[in-house]
Structure 1
Amino acid sequence: MQANLKNKFDSIIFDLDGTLWDSTITVAEAWQKAKEELGYVKDDVTPAVVSSIAGMAYDAIFEKLTPYLSNEKRNEFKNLSARYELEMLSTKGGALYPDLEETLKYLGNKYKLFVVSNCQNGYIESFLKQHNFEHVFAGHQCYGTKSQPKFQNILDVIADYSLYAPVYIGDTQGDYDSSTKAGVPMIFAAYGFGKVTGEPITTIKQFKDLQEIL
């Protein structure tokens, strides 16, 4: 873990799933409910299935899970899953990683904080509302807003908030590829869902490590 990153950045852009929280149990329950209601989706949706597709764009997730469905039926499954997902997240939420609130408070005193995720509209808002984080983050962007790739959403946040030295924190290869394409250095959250082939500027094994390095 590199400890020489203090005062190098003006802002931090976080991935959400596998970086700030783990919502796989709630999301799997929601998608499984949609699957059972519709009757034409072949495979059960488990937390392991949800974690395996973490970081993918929302549309791409359902293409991977149901390649055998017509676009019409796939969209029906996706839309019903999305609705149940937001409904359940509003009451059950997800599991925050240890020491997250304390560490975000520390970071928020030094940096502008943002979230960029490949989720649907309303998902980040559910996270913020469920855990009273609306005041913690200066802004956010997601795939569902403009259906554009994560690197472009990172660039949009940089432009919209006039950031000059951001760092991205994520847990998957997709996060690394997106941040690299956006020209933003990445800190790899090794406690999350994925692995990274490349050269993130450093790796954290737990969220509170950020207090030491930033």
Structure 2
Amino acid sequence: MQTDGIIFDLDGTLWDASETLAKAWQETKPQINFEFQDISPDDIRQVAGMKHDLVYKEWFPDLSEEQQQELMQVSGKEKIAHLKKYGGELYNDLEDTLKYLHSRYKLFIVSNCQDGYIEAFLEHHHLHNYFDDYECPGRTGLPKDDNIKDVVKRNNLKAPIYVGDTQGDYDASHKAGVPFIYARYGFRDVKGYEQSIDHFSDLRKIL
């Protein structure tokens, strides 16, 4: 069947917001009355694709659950505020390619992020018009494969594809029964995929 929808991961696929997020973590430190380690842009890239709440368990195993929850709340607000104000680094030719794809397919985002994160991306970079729908576990509490299934179902997609840059993206898309395109320029190596791209604009050549 001919492709009728493209579902994108966000971090490492549409943009790299690691520098902005690292600054937000620095702004979080004075607001917390316990110590935690500095978070660098590379630290952020290393956990991109991980379910948002699990990141805190990965980074801060020595903090109590209450401290992790407090940190999640405070840093979460700071990150969204920074993203809305400063945005992230869009990959080359992103908007022109989205414009081209949007004229031919319905476009979506499913990312393992907190609620408000996708909205901040769309708001700062004025990209709302290109996307029909989006979902994340911060809003649903569900894993990525279930969020992909929900977007497919509520938009009545018959032959969607998923574009992502991590093994978790590949695994989730296949659990959801959606073919996977690997964004090689992103953050991770992936074993197994239907097709791959070295630049975001390569999607014009294969779709």
Same fold, TM-score > 0.5, yes or no: yes
Structure 2 residue 58 is matched with structure 1 residue 67:
no
Aligned-partner SS, 1:208: helix
In structure 2, the gaps of 5 or more residues are none
Alpha-carbon contact 1:32-1:46 (below 8 Å) kept: no
Residue 202 of structure 2 corresponds to residue 209 of structure 1? yes
2:20 aligned with 1:26, yes or no?
yes
After superposition, what is the alpha-carbon deviation per residue over 1:81-106, rounded to whole angstroms, capped at 9, x for unaligned? 10000111111000100000010011
Range moving further from structure 2, 103-112 or 38-47 = 38-47
Match of 1:3 in 2: none
- Percent same amino acid among aligned pairs? 48
Partner of 2:174: 180
Q: Is the 8 A contact 1:116 1:141 kept in 2?
A: yes
Q: Does the aligned pair in 2 maintain the 1:187–1:202 contact within 8 Å? A: yes
Give the drift of 1:133. 1.1
Q: Displacement of 1:39 after TM fit?
A: 4.7
SS at match of 1:135: helix
Q: What is the CA–CA distance in structure 2 between the aligned matches of 1:27 and 1:120, rounded to whole Å?
A: 13
* 1:134 Cα deviation from its structure 2 partner: 1.0
Aligned partner of 2:37: which letter?
D
Q: Which amino acid aligns with 1:213?
A: I
Equivalent residue for 1:90, pick from 84, 89, 103: 84
How many angstroms does 1:67 deviate by? 0.7
Is the CA contact (8 Å cut-off) linking 1:11 and 1:165 kept in structure 2?
yes
- The Cα RMSD (Å) is 1.1
8 A Cα contact 2:49 2:111, kept in partner? yes
In structure 2, the partner of 1:58 is 52
Aligned to 2:77, what secondary structure does the other structure show?
helix
Q: 1:60 & 1:35 partners in 2: Cα distance?
A: 20
Runs of 4+ in 1 over 2 A off after TM superposition: 39-42
Cα distance in 2 between the residues matched to 1:132 and 1:14:
17
Amino acid in the other structure paired with 1:150: K
Q: 1:139 pairs with 124, 133, 136, which one?
A: 133
Structure 1 equivalent of residue 94 of structure 2: 100
**How does the TM-score come out when normalised to structure 1?**
0.94
Could you tell me which amino acid in structure 1 is paired with residue 194 of structure 2? I
> When the two structures are aligned, how many residues end up with a matched partner?
207
Q: Is the 8 A contact 2:87 2:121 kept in 1?
A: yes
What pairs up with 1:193-204 in 2 under 5 angstroms? Answer: 193-198=187-192, 200-204=193-197
Amino acid across the alignment from 2:178: V
Q: Provide the secondary structure at the position in 2 that maps to 1:81.
A: helix
The amino acid of 1:117's aligned partner reads S
Is the 2:15–2:88 contact (alpha carbons within 8 Å) kept by the matching residues of 1?
yes
